[in-house]
Amino acid sequence: AQSVTQPDIHITVSEGASLELRCNYSYGATPYLFWYVQSPGQGLQLLLKYFSGDTLVQGIKGFEAEFKRSQSSFNLRKPSVHWSDAAEYFCAVGLSGGYQKVTFGTGTKLQVIP
Amino acid sequence: KAGVTQTPRYLIKTRGQQVTLSCSPISGHRSVSWYQQTPGQGLQFLFEYFSETQRNKGNFPGRFSGRQFSNSRSEMNVSTLELGDSALYLCASSLEWSRRGDTQYFGPGTRLTVL
């Protein structure tokens, strides 16, 4: 069965600093990979997704993620964090064929300090 | 295009009662999935419906059930509520959720509190 690990429960960065959120997955075949963001009291918003092709994926709000098969990782990055980026971020993995049952990581809560 | 809508947004029930939550997917989307989100267990998949049929189911007891109507709207029902059912219930829709490249779009959720 597939699984997702987000090793950092909570991260604090200064506004304007760079950000990297870690995500490691376990799955035998090529997975579908997603990053979602959730603001307090809200649903999940898709930031970006990787299905195939270019391993560097660009998303919304200036985020990008890189799929590294050798490291089973799909880390999320942003060069300069804004205060509005404070939220919880979820990495997710889905099966690569047929209808999907996506597995979510436990989330990383991002705090941005001025 | 309107996003995924969920009603009600907040709900308070007592143990033993039952509850029905509703989800209207994005127009044209035929797949609806339900998730339960709690601080302790995180996001857990409940079930997925496509064309009024349940295609996929997570590891939840039979007290949790759902259905989908011909217009793709979906309802989720929880019977004999327990304190542990307190959670944010999220609905997600997608075109078919079986094509490569398909993506789920989430609603704002229904916050259920069981007293």
Q: Express each pLDDT in B56-100 by its tens digit.
A: 888 899 999 999 999 999 999 999 999 999 999 999 999 877 666
User: DSSP readout, B61-90?
Assistant: -TTEEEEE-TTS-EEEEE-S--GGG-EEEE
Q: Express each pLDDT in A27-82 by its tens digit.
A: 777 788 999 999 987 889 999 999 888 899 999 999 999 999 999 999 999 999 99
In this prediction, residue B55 carries a pLDDT of 87
Q: Is A55 on the interface with B (CB under 8 A)?
A: no
Q: Which residues does chain B have within 8 Å of residue A46's beta carbon, measured at their own beta carbons?
A: 103-106
Contact call for B104 and A49, based on CB within 8 A: no
Whole-number percent of chain B with pLDDT over 70: 96
Cα–Cα distance, B6 to B21 (Å, whole number): 8
